[in-house]
Amino acid sequence: MILDKLENAACYSGISENLNIGFEFLKNTDLAALKNGKHEIRGMEIFALVNEADTKEDQECQLEAHRNYADIQYIVSGREFIGYAALNDQPVLKEYFPERDIIFFSGETKPIYLEAGMFVVFFPQDAHRPGMQVAGPEMVKKVVVKVRI
């Protein structure tokens, strides 16, 4: 897992070319103007999912992980907590959905605070519970860049 501000993304340039392309998309796109939905960057190798939604109470948010993609979760506006836990034999709630590259778990997480201008990268070994409220429901615009690893 990596937590930082977008202005520092170059510090992680040696990890993977696909991750670099994802960061370049975030830096060079008018994210406030992007409409909700899927935006292709490089076919199914790298794409962005844009969503505006209210944050929820912790117990309403699902713990998830991925096998084939890393997530760069970037906050365009608003703020949220995302629960984090290293993937380590958590009980499976819903089996792996290969078409969505997602599996759901139960388990405890530690909250990570994100606000506009910040990103977190979750790799396949990182379980995460996105969309948790900070101090009550709040509208958050988020771009999740899915990067094939």
Tokens 């089996």 -> residue: 95
SS3 105: strand
* Residue 115, pLDDT score: 98
- The pLDDT > 90 percentage for the chain reads 99
pLDDT-derived band at 131 (thresholds 50, 70, 90) equals: very high
* Residue 5, pLDDT score: 98
* Total of domains in the chain: 1
**Full-model pTM:** 0.95
For residue 8, the enclosing domain spans 2-148
> Where residue 137 sits, what CATH number does that domain have?
2.60.120.370
- In contact, 77 and 116? CB cutoff 8 Å: yes
Torsion of CA 43, 47, 53, 54, to 10 degrees: 150
Q: What is the pLDDT of residues 89-115, one digit of tens each?
A: 999 999 999 999 999 999 999 999 999
Mean pLDDT of the chain: 97
- In contact, 43 and 93? CB cutoff 8 Å: no
